[in-house]
Amino acid sequence: GAVVSQHPSWVICKSGTSVKIECRSLDFQATTMFWYRQFPKQSLMLMATSNEGSKATYEQGVEKDKFLINHASLTLSTLTVTSAHPEDSSFYICSAITSGSWSDIQYFGAGTRLSVL
């Protein structure tokens, strides 16, 4: 149980275009989903926390107009990188929790590697 699917796993796009990444909880309802970014040889950095039906909470330094997050249902959250530039190239990974309890275990998707040309 507790499977999180992330799509696509790898995307290449031209500078200036927008890219949407989907994160789905397959066998549970995710009250909260998290979006992380990872640069090579660095740790996972939390970008934002998204709760179903409400606006995402962004971490300091993360541009909310650049990284649009939508959590329209209890099984789906999307991250849209708008007007992508080469510096946005990174590994993006989502996670989800079930009950919203503060000690809930986060279950991760496999991640999306974004390359902006």
In the complex, the residues that contact another protein under the rule CB under 8 A are 4, 6, 9, 31-32, 34, 41-46, 49, 51, 93, 95, 97, 100-111
Which CB, 40 or 86, lies closer to another protein? 40
Whole-number minimum distance, CB 79 to another protein, in Å? 15
Whole-number minimum distance, CB 61 to another protein, in Å? 13
Nearest one of 58, 52, 59 to 25, comparing CA atoms: 52
CA–CA distances in Å: residue 105 to residues 2, 34, 47, 97, 109: 10, 12, 18, 6, 13
